[in-house]
Amino acid sequence: MTKTLENLANARILLSNDDGIHAKGLSVLEDIARQLSDDIWIIAPESEQSASSHSLTLRRPLRERKLGDKRYSIDGTPTDCVLMAMKYLMADKSPDLVLSGVNVGANLGEDVIYSGTVAAAMEGAILGARSVALSLRPDDQDESLFHWDTVTKFAPDIIAKLATWSEPGNLLFNVNFPGIPADQVKGIKVCAQGHRDEGTTVVEGNDPSGRPYLWVGQFISHHTSVPNADLTAIADGYITVTPLKYDLTDNAVLKKMGFLFP
């Protein structure tokens, strides 16, 4: 079980992501983390691992590369990185807090199932550290534009509050920032995970030699507006904070189905 932190001044903090060791979001997160503590470790994938979910590399060896003091890249998935960090590179003293991100693109609704960003944080929680995944939605009008000022303004306080909350347990939080400038953010909402109406798309095509191929497309963005859901709140201009858990048991159905196998 995770220990409760009274403050972050002396906390050991691990940073990882799924966009890779050289990603802009990881650099932003490092700047934020260094406002909170001096003991910062960065252990992230050597290359982009978006949508890798909670996969582990089991069919080949992993290699670490030291890039600086407390800074490593791993040629594996986000989950590999957190596992290698907590069981090997930081084995002398496990991190008090794991931060994953800041992802380029939101992780809302069903995104959390596929997200390497969320998976890195979840691995941290499984291994006993309070963990936070952070993601930034692109601008609502221009998908190539990301308002990093929104993250830098609000993330330090959000992280500090989540990390020092006295609630016991291996807590995992998913934080998403809307695609608007900091001065347009309406507030912060604690929300449930939302649900999109359909899912993702499959794109058909032919390569230059005429052979057909299939390509996984983007998620369908349309969703039914549901109060207190992350998809609704972020569309309304709020930062969303969602508590997650790695126990996937459907307890409501569990209570009903015992008669099937008496």
Residue 135: exposed, middle, or buried by beta-carbon count in 10 A (0-12, 13-18, 19+)?
buried
Q: Is 209 annotated as a binding residue?
A: no
Whether residue 2 is contained in a domain is answered as: no
Higher pLDDT, 197 or 203: 203
- pLDDT score for 223: 63
Reply yes or no on whether the pLDDT at 138 is more than 90.
Answer: yes
Q: What is the pLDDT of residue 116?
A: 96
Confidence of residue 132 (pLDDT cuts 50, 70, 90): very high
- Residue 166 annotated as binding? no
- Burial status of residue 96 (CB atoms within 10 A of its CB: 0-12, 13-18, 19 or more): buried
Give the length of the chain: 262
For residue 154, give the CATH number of its domain.
3.40.1210.10
Residue 239 structural domain: 12-196+224-260
Q: What is the reported pLDDT for 231?
A: 94
Q: Is residue 208 part of a domain?
A: no
Q: Residue 5 domain-assigned? A: no
Minimum mean pLDDT range among 10-14, 120-124, 140-144, 234-238: 140-144
Residue 205 domain flag:
no
89 contacts 152 by C-beta, under 8 angstroms:
no
Closest CA to 132 of 171, 76, 104, 85: 171
* Position 1 in a domain: no
Q: Is residue 43 part of a domain?
A: yes
**Helix H or strand E encompassing 33:** helix 24-36
176 labeled part of a ligand binding site: no
* Residue 206, domain member (yes or no): no
Judge contact between 72 and 62, C-beta under 8 A. Answer: no
Per the structure, the count of domains in the chain is 1
Flag whether 141 is in a domain: yes
- Whether the CA torsion 105, 106, 110, 112 is positive or negative: it is positive
Under 8 Å CB-to-CB from 122, ≥6 apart: which residues?
A: 54, 131, 133, 172, 244, 246
Mean pLDDT value across residues 186-205 = 87
- Residue 230 known to bind ligand: no
Residue 178 has pLDDT above 70, yes or no: yes
